[in-house]
Amino acid sequence: MCLALPMRVIEFLPGEMAVAERDGIRKEISVTLVPEVAIGDYVIVHVGFALAKLDPAEARRTLALIAEMAAPGPR
Amino acid sequence: MIAFDAFRDGETARRLAAAIAAEAQPGRSYAFMEFCGGHTHAICRYAIAEMLPANLRMVHGPGCPVCVLPVGRVDAAIAIAERTGVTLCSFGDVLRIPGSHRRSLLSAKAAGADVRVVYSPLDALALAQALPDRQVVFFAVGFETTTPPTAAVLARARHLGIGNFSVFCNHVLTPPAIAAVLGEAADRPVLDGILGPAHVAAVTGADAFAGFARDARMPVVIAGFEPLDLLQAILMLVRQANSGAARVEIQFSRGVTAAGNRAAQALTAEVFEPRAHFAWRGLGQLAESGLRPRPGFAAWNAETRFEIGDPPPEPRTACRCAEILRGLAQPADCPLFGSACTPESPHGACMVSSEGACAAEWSYGRGRRRIWKELR
Ligand code: SF4
């Protein structure tokens, strides 16, 4: 029951709701808990609520750091 | 764009595992506890443990909310559901938790109680609006990730004056559970670090974990749930352990900050207050570890409305969940694992949800190599 998924906010709806999308799947979620969210933002969705925003620049930084930390490959 | 698939790259995973093996010192051992059931699930699903050197062990912790709910609270929920005029709803896993005599909400439903599955607390409130002649009760279970949504729905119910809705609140807090496992008990597990839960920390902030680094001298890395997140975080823990450091690091920097989600924290504090004690399966009564609606929400508190008292102490059974939740036993140590107890017919709570240690190990014990092949 704890599985939470990253999704992208694509449209606002009345009542602090929004449409979020991931891999072509759309869902109505509440954005009550992330008042600063904007269209195009990534959020972590859990039990129908956006819990927090995800930062794409930080995601890229993490991937770069992982590439650095990983042992050198065969090539 | 965030390239989510990049966090599942099989080749990079193998190279991270090689780095872990190279940096883990052969003269010592490492035991890291993952507290979160989501991590337990991911570690089993992606067979992370099998990629680690023999002297590095991942220990399952108490962070599966379905697993830590004591039998007495399940029994109380069943008693509420059996009342005339009540419709009780919760998440699918919650309905399958065995209470006393292996009865669950699902078996109460089969016997005629109106018990329903919801995906979100929003659905529970919508159900109350759709069924004005029924008393709709949301059986709320979960850690800091699930609590703010319940708080939002309670605030909305009060705002709209929806009188036939209430919440049976079983929300619990992660830090007291970590403190209880690390605790003072003579038989506490020997740990070298903690893999902290990213989604909980996205709400609470990484600062909520600072005490464990400072006071218990425990390395903490707040980690995401993809295979590369887990492996990078484990490597970060190895490095802290090797250097004798004990600090909180954030691996999941794309979603976690030091302060967390202030709006969610504020709403939670407005609606809920700590209970003096709350009983946990495996961990017993823990001070200030559970939440209940504040007096201003008493009209929407199912415990007030249905006069629910404190649950009796846990009955003793052959199930070893209690030790598993404290990191003192592994699922395979339980004589019922996979025989009398399976996900289809769970004997204990750890076998119910896919984040439970027993269910995760059982489900992915055979299928996991296939999953990795898909990712490569
Ligand atoms: S296998 Fe079943 S009975 Fe044994 S500890 Fe796990 S949940 Fe309990």
* Nearest-angstrom CA–CA distance, B56 and B70: 31
For chain B, the domains span 28-57+178-250, 67-172+260-305, 321-375
Closest CB to B152: pick one of A49, A69, A70. Answer: A49
Domain with residues B28-57+178-250, CATH architecture: 3-Layer(aba) Sandwich (3.40)
Count the Cβ atoms, other than its own, within 10 Å of residue B104: 20
Report the pLDDT value the prediction gives residue B237, as an integer from 0 to 100: 98
Q: For B215-240, what is each residue's pLDDT tens digit? A: 889 999 999 999 999 999 999 999 99
* pLDDT band for position A37 (cuts 50, 70, 90): very high
Q: For B11-32, what is each residue's pLDDT tens digit? A: 999 999 999 999 999 999 999 9
ipTM of the modeled complex: 0.94
Burial of residue A22 (CB within 10 Å: 0-12, 13-18, 19+) is: middle
Report the pLDDT value the prediction gives residue B367, as an integer from 0 to 100: 44
Token representation of residue B150: 């319940």
* pLDDT band for position B371 (cuts 50, 70, 90): very low
Q: Which atom of ligand 1 is nearest to the CA of B351?
A: 7
Cβ atoms of residues A58 and B7 within 8 Å: no
Pick the CATH number of A4-69 from 3.60.40.10, 2.30.30.140, 1.10.260.40, 2.60.40.10: 2.30.30.140
Distance of CA B119 to the CA centre of its chain: 17
Count the Cβ atoms, other than its own, within 10 Å of residue A6: 19
User: Residue of the nearest CA to atom 6 in ligand 1?
Assistant: B358
* pLDDT band for position A73 (cuts 50, 70, 90): low
Mean pLDDT value across residues B74-93: 96
Closest CB to B1: pick one of A34, A44, A56. Answer: A56
Q: Check A2 against B235: CB less than 8 A apart.
A: no
Mean pLDDT value across residues B41-61: 93
Contacts of B92 in chain A (CB under 8 A): 1
The one-letter amino acid code at B266 reads A
Q: Which residue among B341, B355, B363 is best mutated to probe the pocket of ligand 1, counting the most ligand atoms within 8 A of its Cβ?
A: B341
Q: Which atom of ligand 1 is nearest to the CA of B341?
A: 2
The one-letter amino acid code at A65 reads L
Is residue B52 lining ligand 1, measured as CB closer than 6 Å?
no
CB contact, 8 Å: A25 with chain B?
no
For chain A, the domains span 4-69
Closest CB to A54: pick one of B12, B122, B255. Answer: B255
Q: For B155-189, what is each residue's pLDDT tens digit? A: 999 999 999 999 999 999 999 999 988 887 778 88
Fold classification of B67-172+260-305 is Rossmann fold (3.40.50)
The one-letter amino acid code at B367 reads G
